[in-house]
A and B are shown apart, each in its own frame.
Chain A
Amino acid sequence: MTQRRSYQVGTGLFIVLGFAALAYLATQTTSVANFQQGPSYTLKARFTNIGQLKLRAPVKIAGVRIGSVEKIDLDGTKLDALVQLSLDKRFNEVPDDSAAAIFTSGLLGDQYVSIQPGGSPEMFKDGDEFVLTQSSIQLEDLIGKFLVSGGPSKPSDDASKPASPKTDNDTQH
């Protein structure tokens, strides 16, 4: 009888150890570990182009992660992207004239939403929408513009342009 008990205890230990390892792998080494717990509130932002922004992409202020992208949808009438951001309730003092921008981490990394705080005394409330947004910068567009115009077209650059008068018209679009 003691023999039987010992192997049953051993089997139980083995199964518990196996599931503990699975739980550890699933919660500590995967993206689940980045999920925020606790209460959150939702803000909305409209972008003309979200680039490669994905669901659950981080939302950051000053580079610190404070939430994630909850939902990405297309507004059927305005034809722009409606992005819902879920922010940690602890950070509920975001001025309501803050701007939301889509940036890329590193040169080729994943995209995230960065919030640049404004100076308004009023704070964002649950369900509010950003007035100021900046879409993701398309690397292809930049390269295309660069190839066509031979450089970034700024008014101050005009002095160097007369060498190729034709491109001035092109950059006006």
Chain B
Amino acid sequence: MIGDSLAQVGACGLFLLGILAAIPKSLRHIKETIRQIWFVGAMSLVIIMTCGLFVGMVLGLQLYYVLSIFGGTAALGTVVSLALYRELGPVVTALLFAGRAGTSITAEIGLMRATDQLAAMEMMAVDPMAYVAAPRFLAGIVAMPLLACVFNALGIFGAHLVGVTWLGLDNGTFWSNMTSSVDVWKDVVNGVWKSCAFGAVVALIAVFQGYTTPPTSEGVAYATTRTVVFSSIVVLALDFVMTAFLM
């Protein structure tokens, strides 16, 4: 059992090396990468924006209640923006990304494997690592930070909607407290680094699970499930490690 898991981790690591080696070759198929960014990024916008809005609204509501106990509702903007930039934006976006884009990548590549399309590509001297795996991996790295930024922006908007428009917090207090205590590099940019790493991890796991799936319909089903489970665990664990280093 432990041997199997170790073998899985090792195979995934070797697979990552294979993808990195195939990236220069995949740049010749740059259009395929763009198509994947559209597929995993632009097509995920609706769910990311909706969830960002509601997460921001809930944060605004909950923190307003908690802060009002201490008479500190003026700090609402600060607390919401710091929570979003540093933690919730990257992590929740990564979890949604795994559910929305990771599963479809796994299912697509798994079906390619099951219907021998990958073998056919190899026969035609098209390297599937460069044409199938690497573009999806790159698309994950590019799309995740952008999605996380959209998520954060909508979250701030949601918190502003609840805190200022509905609960009557002062608009100037909300923004000035936020701008005086949020730092570009320590908060915003660190969140972007995090989401880049999460995008790479989720895309890697999704591509790997699809690429190595048993070529059966049951195998594809299991691989899709494993993508969500593994990427959620790895994202949350990596989040802790990265937070400790980026602090």
Interface residues of A (CB under 8 A from B): 4, 7-8, 10-11, 13-15, 17-19, 21-22, 24-26, 28-34, 110
Contact B150 A11 (CB under 8 A): no
Contact B178 A18 (CB under 8 A): no
Across the interface, A29 reaches (CB within 8 A) one of B45, B143, B150, B178, namely: B178
Q: Which residues of A contact B192 (CB under 8 A)?
A: 22
Q: Which residues of A contact B38 (CB under 8 A)?
A: 7-8, 10-11, 14
State the majority secondary structure of interface residues on B: helix
Q: Does B58 contact A (CB under 8 A)?
A: no
A-B contact list, 19 entries, CB within 8 Å: A4-B31, A7-B34, A10-B38, A11-B34, A11-B37, A15-B37, A15-B142, A18-B41, A18-B143, A19-B146, A21-B149, A25-B152, A25-B156, A25-B188, A26-B184, A30-B182, A30-B183, A31-B184, A34-B179
In the bound complex, CA of A52 to CA of B179 (Å):
20
Q: Kindly count the residue-residue contacts between A and B in the assembled complex, taking CB atoms under 8 Å apart.
A: 85
7 A-B pairs besides A22-B149, A25-B156, A32-B179 with CB distance below 8 A are A7-B38, A14-B45, A15-B37, A15-B142, A21-B149, A26-B188, A31-B182
Q: Which residues of A contact B178 (CB under 8 A)?
A: 29-30
- Convert B165-184 into 0s and 1s, putting 1 for each residue whose CB lies closer than 8 angstroms to a CB of A: 00000000001001111111
Contact B146 A14 (CB under 8 A): yes
Q: Which residues of A contact B180 (CB under 8 A)?
A: 31, 34, 110
A15 and B153 in contact, given A8-B34, A10-B38, A30-B184 (Cβ under 8 angstroms): no
Q: Does B187 contact A (CB under 8 A)?
A: yes
In the bound complex, CA of A32 to CA of B180 (Å):
9
Q: Does B85 contact A (CB under 8 A)?
A: yes
Interface residues of B (CB under 8 A from A): 31, 34-35, 37-39, 41-42, 45, 81, 85, 142-143, 145-147, 149-150, 152-153, 156, 175, 178-184, 187-189, 192
State the 8 A-B residue pairs at the shortest beta-carbon distance, nearest first.
A18-B146, A14-B42, A21-B149, A11-B38, A21-B153, A22-B149, A33-B179, A30-B182
Minimum C-beta distance from A144 to chain B (A): 29
Minimum C-beta distance from B175 to chain A (A): 8
Minimum C-beta distance from B77 to chain A (A): 8
In the bound complex, CA of A31 to CA of B181 (Å):
7
Q: Which residues of A contact B150 (CB under 8 A)?
A: 17-18, 21
Minimum C-beta distance from A98 to chain B (A): 25
Contact A14 B184 (CB under 8 A): no
Across the interface, A21 reaches (CB within 8 A) one of B31, B146, B181, B184, namely: B146
Contact B146 A7 (CB under 8 A): no
Contact A18 B147 (CB under 8 A): yes
Minimum C-beta distance from A14 to chain B (A): 4
In the bound complex, CA of A18 to CA of B187 (Å):
17
In the bound complex, CA of A122 to CA of B124 (Å):
85
